[in-house]
Structure 1
Amino acid sequence: MGNGSGVGRPRASGAAASRPDARQAVLDAAGELFTGAGYAATTTRAIAERAGLRQASLYYHFPAKEDILAALLAETVRPSLALAARLVAGEAPAAVRLWALAYADIGLLGGARHNLGALYLLPEVSSPNLARFRTERAELKAAYGRLVAAAGVPPAAAGIRTDLVFGLVESIAVIRRDDPSLDVEAHVREGADGVVRLLGTGEPSDALRAEAHELLARLAE
């Protein structure tokens, strides 16, 4: 929808456009519509109506529909990327740090109000306007790779194991799409366990899980 420049689009300058919650209202409405009706079938007018705004007010925050998609996708990766940077730099056993990252990341994707991870398969994700999202997602995968390597996985297998780990983490989006009644917390725990199993270093223990939860709690302080 356009090139993102907003040329020729009406702009709003009143309270409806600038109120603090207007931008979030647009994102909430778009998340619901993109994951429900579909991205291609959703118009900016429909998003504005669902958000309780004039269409011009929507363009005040997002010049094009792809800009809304970019903002939504950023919400699925940036919190995990920030956590990953701290975990990669940490000193806890690599398996503990990997379990913690997978637990938090799967929880982010599975526990969000809308199943935004399902949008990863959209053809629009390859658009130049989504380059930053693709870069950040690649950086997150690379962080998983560093933890996989730090856990002692041989270099010849580390790339494949990282692919499998990252695929397992993101699979929550497809599973959630197919089963809206999914027990997210149970899936988060089992998913994190599965990630550690992919290391080939043995079954994750209760002690490992407890240490990972303590690590996440410290980082959240």
Structure 2
Amino acid sequence: MGTTGRKVGRPRAEPRPDSGMSTRDELLAAAAELFTTHGYAATTTRAVAERAGMRQATMYHYFGGKEDLLAELLESTVTPSLALARRLLADDGRAPEERLRELCRSDVELLCRGPHNLGGLYLLPEVQGERFAGFHRVRADLKDAYGQLLAGTAPGRTLDKGELALRTDLVFGLIEGVILVHRSDPDRPVGSFASATADAALRIAGTG
């Protein structure tokens, strides 16, 4: 989530210390906390606004409703990894397995490093709705990048389409599956968890 300058909007419901975040990011942070602790269905837009110390009308000045908040939070868990994946695909100076490992490790850290388990929101049935097409599109692009890196980890032979698709599904599923493992033990050191997961992904890819 970015930290762009404040947009002129409606007044706050109550004075709060300046967090240094934009009003938009404060609302996203409040939504992230409430969605992951109280549940998406149980959280109202009024609760999000109040948690951010704002009036409900202020929230609607920035977001159309809960779905908009959730969609932006979900995309924030994918877009940094997609940007990294594209840089890694363009980096011909390192072996594909080294680049794949870096993407896996970084992706796990992104999913698990924040104060809230945003990856757990992937499991919400609401995420299948049309409003989340942007998230699914970015996620599909990221999965495709994983596949491209995987394809390069088999020197001397070409993986057939079915084998590549299976390995991509397994590796991508492993990476996204860390949200459940992390939820069971949130105090596990993220760095070592990310490294271990990346090593496991390489073994699935047939290079570890």
Q: Which residue of 99, 111, 114 corresponds with 1:112?
A: 114
**Superposed counterparts of 1:40-119, under 5 Å:** 40-91=41-92, 92-119=94-121
* Shift, 1:56, TM fit: 0.3
Partner of 1:182: 188
143-152 or 176-185: bigger deviation:
176-185
Separation in 1 of the partners of 2:9 and 2:113? 35
* Shift, 1:13, TM fit: 3.6
The two structures have a TM-score, normalised by structure 2, of 0.87
Amino acid aligned to 1:154: L
* Shift, 1:15, TM fit: 4.9
Partner of 2:29: 28
The two structures have a TM-score, normalised by structure 1, of 0.82
Conservation of the 8 A alpha-carbon contact between 1:31 and 1:72: yes
Number of residue pairs matched by the alignment: 190
Residue 167 in 1 paired to residue 163 in 2?
no
**Superposed counterparts of 1:116-131, under 5 Å:** 116-131=118-133
* Shift, 1:72, TM fit: 0.4
* Shift, 1:90, TM fit: 1.6
Residue 14 in 1 paired to residue 10 in 2?
yes
Q: Which runs of 4+ in 1 moved over 4 A?
A: none
Give CA-to-partner distance per residue, 1:22-48, whole Å, 9 cap, x none: 111111111011111110010001111
Separation in 1 of the partners of 2:141 and 2:72? 17
Conservation of the 8 A alpha-carbon contact between 1:16 and 1:22: no
Conservation of the 8 A alpha-carbon contact between 1:70 and 1:129: yes
* Shift, 1:14, TM fit: 3.2
- Identity over aligned residues, as a percent? 48
C-alpha distance 37-14 of structure 1, shift in aligned 2 (>3 A): closer
Give CA-to-partner distance per residue, 1:61-115, whole Å, 9 cap, x none: 1011100001100110000001111111221111011001001111100101210
* Shift, 1:173, TM fit: 0.8
Conservation of the 8 A alpha-carbon contact between 2:12 and 2:54: yes
Q: Which runs of 5+ in 2 are unaligned?
A: 1-7, 14-19
* Shift, 1:183, TM fit: 1.9
Give CA-to-partner distance per residue, 1:151-194, whole Å, 9 cap, x none: 12622311111011001111221112122222211110101111
Over the aligned positions, Cα root-mean-square deviation in angstroms equals 1.7
* Structure holding more helix per residue: 1
Separation in 1 of the partners of 2:184 and 2:21? 35
